[in-house]
């Protein structure tokens, strides 16, 4: 039996990856230049998937660091060395490690078969970071420049005060590494790279990732559904409309719709999207209830207006400034996203709200 052609919640590559042709071309150009790249979008718009695809296409060596996995500066330094060891032969790296002021212990983890890198605790983490980043410049060559991707980069601010300044000071001296910074919290990423006072101000080419255009995504969803229904065209349209064209939610809903159709759990194929939506909302009912209860009156009003009117409004006697400052807090917290307008991030939550409010 065929497998579900839709995938969500994690990095996607072929055959689950669609479109992004222009973005891929822009990223390719950037990686071929001496500039660094910053990619920002709301959560789960496809940053990681896109960057990995672009990086693979260059066939150049790369390391991928998820900053969220580090809880300290020393941790980050260990991650950097560890990832570098995965990409280059140990023999080559050894000679560079000798120059480290604090030499790490490298061991094979017998359980994962992976390599572990540890520094003795208590040493100056600045030195570790300097040496770890220095390693990147040393292993890289003019012919095959290393690409270093830092995902969830806004998390560095939680590691240590002033770490952004240190990172920047080291990175700006280097010339053989292309740095790529990804981040999902729009405001934090923006303040790291767009605030004049920030050390990373104008450090690279800034790219704001948008949703995938309706037509392109429609074709992808339709093709995926076409094996299990004759109504793939309409159903695909409905999936895109109801999810507000959010890549991750499209794939999630499409996967459920595909399941219903493939296992013939419906009387009428045309009901597939509504049935899937009802089921998905039911699964999250308790979470949504809890979420809703936790919002203030003002926040609830904003959610209601966005769900029913599709925009912010200042009826009910609230000042416009109050509305916008609350919306901007909800944006930072991830409940809303901002595209051309404000939107409720989770279309399932939005639909839960709509059934509740009606
Ligand atoms: N080009 C694409 N084609 C089809 N689906 C995509 C594409 N990009 C992203 N998606 C959908 O979005 C989901 C999230 O993608 P990804 O993890 O790359 O996003 P992200 O922006 O890195 O997310 P996060 O904010 O959690 O780091 C994927 O699982 C997939 O369902
Ligand atoms: Mg990601």
- The percentage of the chain sitting over the pLDDT mark of 90, rounded to a whole number, equals 81
Is 12 near ligand 1, meaning CB less than 6 Å away? yes
The pLDDT tens digits for 79-94 are: 999 999 999 988 889 8
pLDDT confidence of residue 88: 92
pLDDT tens per residue, range 43-78: 999 999 999 999 999 999 999 999 999 999 999 999
CB contact at 8 A, 178 and 155: no
Based on its alpha-carbon atoms, the radius of gyration of the chain, rounded to whole angstroms, reads 23
350 lines ligand 1 (CB under 6 A): no
Distance CA 52, CA 43 (A): 16
* Per-residue pLDDT, 1: 62
Question: Is pLDDT of 150 > 70?
Answer: yes
Q: Using CA of residue 264, residue 266, residue 272, residue 277, what is the dihedral sign?
A: negative
CB distance 211 to ligand 1 below 6 Å: no
Q: What is the pLDDT of residue 4?
A: 96
Residue 317, both tokens? 């006697």
Decide: helix, strand or coil at residue 83. helix
Q: Does residue 14 surpass a pLDDT of 80?
A: yes
Domains (ranges, CATH) in the chain?
Answer: 21-208 (3.40.50.300), 214-357 (no CATH)
From 15, 17, 45, 346, the mutation candidate for ligand 1 (largest count of ligand atoms within 8 A of CB) is 45
- Report how far ligand 1's centroid is from the alpha carbon of 5 (Å): 15
Please give the distance of CA 164 from its chain centroid, rounded to a whole number: 20
pLDDT above 70 covers a percentage of the chain that reads 100
Does residue 120 register a pLDDT over 90? no
Of residues 113 and 308, more confidence is placed in 308
Residue 18 has pLDDT above 70, yes or no: yes
Write out pLDDT tens, residues 295-348: 999 999 999 999 999 999 877 777 888 899 999 999 989 999 998 889 999 999
3-state secondary structure of 261: helix
E strand or H helix at 66: strand 62-66
Task: Give the pLDDT confidence of 271-295 residue by residue, as tens digits.
Answer: 999 999 999 999 999 999 999 999 9
Q: Which atom of ligand 1 is nearest to the CA of 184?
A: 25
CA distance 74 to 308: 49
Distance 326 CA to ligand 2 centre (A): 26
Question: How many A from CA of 13 to the centre of ligand 1?
Answer: 9
Q: Give the per-residue pLDDT at 112.
A: 84
Q: Kindly compute the dihedral angle of the four CA atoms of residues 67, 72, 76, 81, in this order, to the nearest 10 degrees.
A: -150
Examine the pLDDT at 169 and tell me if it is beyond 90.
yes
Q: Which of 184-198, 202-216, 226-240 shows the lowest per-residue confidence on average (mean pLDDT)?
A: 184-198
User: Is the beta carbon of 10 within 6 A of some atom in ligand 1?
Assistant: yes
Please give the pLDDT value at position 70: 96
């Amino acid at each position: 039996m065929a497998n579900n052609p839709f995938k969500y919640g994690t990095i996607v590559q072929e055959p689950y990856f669609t479109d992004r042709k222009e973005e891929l071309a822009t990223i390719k150009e950037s990686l071929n230049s001496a500039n660094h790249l910053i990619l920002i979008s709301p959560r789960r718009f496809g940053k990681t998937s896109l960057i990995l695809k672009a990086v693979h296409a260059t066939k150049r060596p790369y390391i991928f660091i998820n900053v969220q996995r580090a809880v300290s500066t020393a941790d980050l330094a260990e991650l950097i060395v560890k990832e570098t060891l995965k990409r280059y032969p140990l023999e080559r790296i050894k000679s560079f490690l000798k120059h480290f002021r604090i030499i790490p212990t490298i061991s094979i983890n017998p359980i994962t078969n992976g390599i572990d890198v540890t520094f003795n605790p208590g040493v100056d983490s600045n030195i570790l970071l300097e040496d770890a980043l220095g390693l990147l410049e040393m292993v890289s060559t003019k012919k095959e420049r290393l690409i270093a991707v830092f995902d969830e980069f806004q998390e560095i601010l939680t590691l240590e005060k002033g770490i952004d300044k240190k990172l920047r000071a080291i990175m700006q001296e280097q010339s053989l590494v292309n740095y790529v910074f990804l981040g999902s919290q729009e405001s934090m990423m923006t303040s790291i790279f767009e605030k004049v006072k920030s050390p990373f101000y104008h450090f690279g080419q800034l790219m704001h990732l948008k949703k995938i255009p309706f037509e392109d995504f429609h074709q992808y969803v339709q093709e995926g559904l076409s094996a299990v229904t004759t109504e793939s065209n309409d159903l695909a349209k409905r999936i895109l409309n109801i999810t507000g064209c959010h890549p991750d939610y499209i794939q999630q809903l499409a996967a459920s719709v595909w399941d219903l159709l493939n296992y013939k759990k419906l009387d009428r194929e045309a009901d597939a999207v509504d049935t899937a939506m009802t089921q998905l909302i039911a699964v999250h009912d308790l979470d949504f209830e809890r979420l809703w209860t936790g919002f203030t009156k003002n926040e609830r009003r904003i959610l209601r207006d966005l769900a029913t009117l599709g925009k912010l409004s200042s009826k009910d006697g609230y000042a416009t400034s109050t509305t916008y400052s609350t919306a901007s807090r909800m944006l930072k917290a991830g409940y809303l996203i901002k595209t051309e307008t404000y939107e409720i991030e989770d279309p399932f939550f939005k639909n839960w709200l709509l059934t509740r409010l009606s």
